[in-house]
Amino acid sequence: MSIFGSIMSKIFHPGGGSAAASPAAGGASAGPAVSASSSASSPPASASGTPSSPVDVEAVLKDLSSKSGQQLNWQTSIVDLMKLLNLDSSLTARKELAGELNYTGDTNDSATMNIWLHKQVMQKLAENGGKVPDSLKA
């Protein structure tokens, strides 16, 4: 599964159990929704098993944060967001995520890349059925 697919899965299906692995929402289908969403997000989002009603991304992340016992700045930090979701937040993983999301900047400038990644992840979550407040997309 792609890194972005893992992010979507953890947010849209926070239990992560077998219930999240419905035929339409299987791990393999999450990847194509990411690459195709750059040009036409609506059809791939439906095909990826995106919930029929929007998922409140901020509420899910706040809930996870309250249970984590860590002080994570997930609202602005891609590293902390990935840590909150129990995903690999290493530079290598973030560079891979940047590739998935078609980052064209210098991946060696991690500060700039990280800011772009956070904004892009929030935008892509919104495009794929997430309710994301403007404050998290900016």
Q: Is residue 122 part of a domain?
A: yes
137 domain-assigned: no
Domain count, the chain: 1
In a domain, 61, yes or no: yes
Decide if 13 is inside a domain: yes
Assigned domain for 108 exists: yes
What residue numbers bound the domain in which 67 lies? Answer: 3-132
pLDDT in tens, 49-100: 555 688 999 999 999 999 998 999 999 999 999 999 999 999 999 999 999 9
Residue 120 in any domain: the answer is yes
Q: What is the pLDDT of residue 32?
A: 36
CB atoms within 10 A of CB 109: 11
User: Does some domain include residue 138?
Assistant: no
DSSP 8-class letter at 131: E
Q: What is the DSSP string of 84-98?
A: HTT---SHHHHHHHH
* 67 located within any domain: yes
Pairing of strands 55-56, 130-131: parallel
Say how far residue 16 (Cα) sits from the centre of its chain.
Answer: 14
Given this model, what pLDDT does residue 52 score? Answer: 64
| Helices first, then strands: H and E counts in the chain | 8, 2
